[in-house]
Structure 1
């Protein structure tokens, strides 16, 4: 199962990097256990932060991220993928530039995924939400 989990995670990362939102969403189960390390109500400067459970909502999440950032300036990197059975943890650094205003920011991240029957059933991401909100709100991180 670990090899299958790693394969799905690596394919997720490839599709995300290509900006292929519909194909990225195809990797998710319905419903998906979706969580971002933000307050439940999100933040007005960060509209993509909200509950998700369907493939259409997953695709919308990634489209919204892209709409608010300059994809050509994305320097997000993955430093490690740890796999334990159906669970995977992806560690890295988000490096984005906000489309409105051009503010660049970086944040470490950890992504906890669970893969069952070849589909992602859990997507929990942890990042420096204060840095992201400040950058999107027009303040220097």
Structure 2
């Protein structure tokens, strides 16, 4: 038996991915709730760096639009690709697995990053957007040096 909530979740997620592919930040942001929980798995001290300003937590639909604007400003549009491998849906929650291929505009360095998105849909809008990606690949493409190993002693 099909769960109408699951079908709605899948529809919203597929539409989000389609709009991201088109690249219109305002159309993408229209799928987000006015207030939302947007988190990244990046180390806190890496959020908001000048080389990667789009990498920070967000809280509003306007923040979501700005994320996609900043992302576009910092990457070469002709050298972007995303492969979606799997979409898992359980009621209002969805997980998207895939790989992005981007090129950093300031350095010209190409990178690949595996990713997972955890989304929650309520009333047809995204209320949770958690991003898990290879932050080291992104940081290195934007000119960051390889990090010092943490002192585990």
Task: Give the alignment's TM-score, normalised by structure 2.
Answer: 0.87
Q: Which runs of 5+ in 2 are unaligned?
A: 147-153
For these two proteins, the number of residue pairs brought into alignment is: 140
- Counterparts of 1:129 and 1:43 in 2: how far apart (Å)? 13
Alpha-carbon distance in structure 1 between the residues aligned to 2:107 and 2:141: 9
Q: 1:38 to 1:138 in 2, by over 3 A?
A: closer
Q: Which residue of 2 aligns with 1:93?
A: 99
How far off is 1:30 after superposition?
2.1
Aligned residue in 1 for 2:111: 105
Deviant stretches of 4+, over 3 Å: none
Relative contact order, CA 8 A, sep 6+: which one is greater? 1
| Alignment partner, residue 73 of structure 1 | 79
Structure 1 Cα separation of the partners of residues 85 and 138 of structure 2:
20
Who is 2:43 aligned against? 39
**Secondary structure in 1 matching 2:58:** coil
Q: Deviations over 1:100-120 (max 9, x none)?
A: 121000010000000010000
Unaligned runs of 5+ in 1: none
- Between the aligned partners of 2:36 and 2:48, the Cα distance in structure 1 is 22
